[in-house]
Amino acid sequence: MSPQNTALCFMLSVLGLALCTTYSDEAKAQNTQTQATYAVVEPPKCTNDKGENVRFIDSSKGRAGMASGMAIRDQNGKPVVLRNNYSNTPPEFQSFIDRHECAHHQTGDVDRPHPPRNSSAHLMNESISDCVAILRIRDEEGYDRAGFLKVATALRNEMAKIGFPEISISSRISNIDNCYTEYGSPQDFINGVLKQRGLI
């Protein structure tokens, strides 16, 4: 097995634990506590695998109080990232979401058939995007271990807020930590994924 395949299999195994677990009924309940609000960060530069610039669009849609992102093509066929309710989450996690969604464009996910939710292919796509996101934050924002821990803490809080159990949260953070520690440049990682997919 190639190093790239080994890396992707590792990411898939830990992300499977993170995403395949059923939410508890209690955790599904809406958080009625007053939430802090944050300034919304500037989005990063993002170009998809075809060389098109990706536009970021701020929105208040989505689940109330929950920050999320979505990588799609708009009605005109242009690549975009929807940034939903970003003011509800700390800037470190906003930056992570931006780069995670950008990675779906960078690795060609948006223009490939979307796999069934929680399938192995879907989990792989999400794991790869997590890895690209943390590598970009590390290299572009200069995040050392203290910076990484800010991202991990924000991720933990957001996942707990929407109902993921501890084993799922810890598994996802472990995967991201492995990427942060073990891999080189984000572009090299992206190129490896594109080569494996026959896109370059």
Question: If you count them, how many residues does the chain have?
Answer: 200
Amino acid occupying residue 191: N
Q: What pLDDT score was predicted for residue 32?
A: 41
Total structural domains within the chain:
1
Q: What pLDDT score was predicted for residue 107?
A: 98
Q: What pLDDT score was predicted for residue 83?
A: 97
Let me know if residue 58 belongs to a domain.
yes
Let me know if residue 16 belongs to a domain.
yes
The set of residues, in sequence order, having a beta carbon less than 8 Å from that of 1 and lying 6+ positions away, is 9
Let me know if residue 3 belongs to a domain.
no
Which domain range does residue 62 map to?
Answer: 11-196
Q: How far apart are CA 80 and CA 53, in angstroms?
A: 9
Residues of the chain whose pLDDT is less than 70? 1-34
Let me know if residue 1 belongs to a domain.
no
Q: What pLDDT score was predicted for residue 34?
A: 58
